[in-house]
Amino acid sequence: MARNERHIVPNPGGGWDVRKPGASRASSHHDTQMEAEKRAKEILLRNGGGEAIIHNQKGQFRDSDTIAPGNDPCPPKDTK
């Protein structure tokens, strides 16, 4: 099963898009990266969790965030 993810990417015309891999158009468009990241996380939470993939202004990978109850590929070490 493919993992549920949304990418926060710069829009060539300005602003930021939330995109699902393979989709022909953006799920949503926002003026700021912060707004787009918030919306991507809301979408993932509503759809059972997953991975928010954040890109920089040049479109390159910058960071990712696992939204519960998604399966974190790099979970924090248990300190117990």
Instruction: State residue 73's pLDDT score.
Output: 60
Give every residue of the chain whose pLDDT is below 50, as ranges: none
Q: Are 70 and 51 in contact (CB under 8 A)?
A: yes
Q: Are 17 and 28 in contact (CB under 8 A)?
A: yes
pTM of the full structure:
0.83
Instruction: State residue 11's pLDDT score.
Output: 97
> For the chain, what's the residue count?
80
Instruction: State residue 68's pLDDT score.
Output: 86
Alpha-carbon distance of 60 to 29, in angstroms, equals: 18
Which SS3 state, helix, strand or coil, does residue 46 take? Answer: helix
